[in-house]
Structure 1
Amino acid sequence: MVRIREMEEADVDAVSAIRVRGWQSAYAGIVPGTYLDAMTVEGDAQGRRTWFAHPLRQSTELVALDAGGELVGWISCGPYRGSVPGGRPTGEVYACYVRPDRIGRGVGRALLGEVHARMGERGFQAVSLWVLGDNRQARRFYERADYRPDGGTQDDVYDGVTLTELRYGRPLR
Structure 2
Amino acid sequence: MTSRPVPAHAPRPLIRDMTIDDCEAVARVRVRGWQSAYAGLMPQAHLDAMDVAADAERRRGFFTEAGAVVNVVAERPGPGVVGWAAYGPYREDGRRLARGEVYAIYVLPEQTGTGVGRALMAEVLTRAAAAGHPDVALWVLKENAPARRFYERAGFRPDGAEEPFDVDGVAVPEVRYVRPLSPPAGG
Which category describes the TM-score, using the shorter chain as reference length? Answer: over 0.9
Give the residue type in structure 2 aligned to 1:17.
R
Counterpart for residue 171 of structure 1: 180
Counterpart for residue 79 of structure 1: 89
Counterpart for residue 5 of structure 1: 16
* Residue 166 of structure 1, CA deviation: 0.3
Give the residue type in structure 2 aligned to 1:158.
V
* Residue 157 of structure 1, CA deviation: 1.6
Q: Secondary structure at the match of 1:31?
A: coil
How high is the sequence identity, in percent, across the aligned residues? Answer: 50
| In 1: Cα distance, 2:166 partner to 2:100 partner | 25
| In 2: Cα distance, 1:69 partner to 1:140 partner | 26
Residue 139 in structure 1 maps to residue 140 in structure 2: no
Give the residue type in structure 2 aligned to 1:169.
V
Counterpart for residue 128 of structure 1: 137
Counterpart for residue 96 of structure 1: 105
TM-score (normalizing by structure 1): 0.93
Aligned length: 168
Gaps spanning 5+ residues in structure 1: where? none
Gaps spanning 5+ residues in structure 2: where? 1-11, 183-187
Residue 149 in structure 1 maps to residue 155 in structure 2: no
Counterpart for residue 185 of structure 2: none
TM-score (normalizing by structure 2): 0.87
| In 1: Cα distance, 2:180 partner to 2:42 partner | 30
Counterpart for residue 42 of structure 1: 53
- C-alpha deviations, 1:32-76, integer Å up to 9, x for none? 111101110011011111111112x21000000114471110000
| In 2: Cα distance, 1:100 partner to 1:69 partner | 13
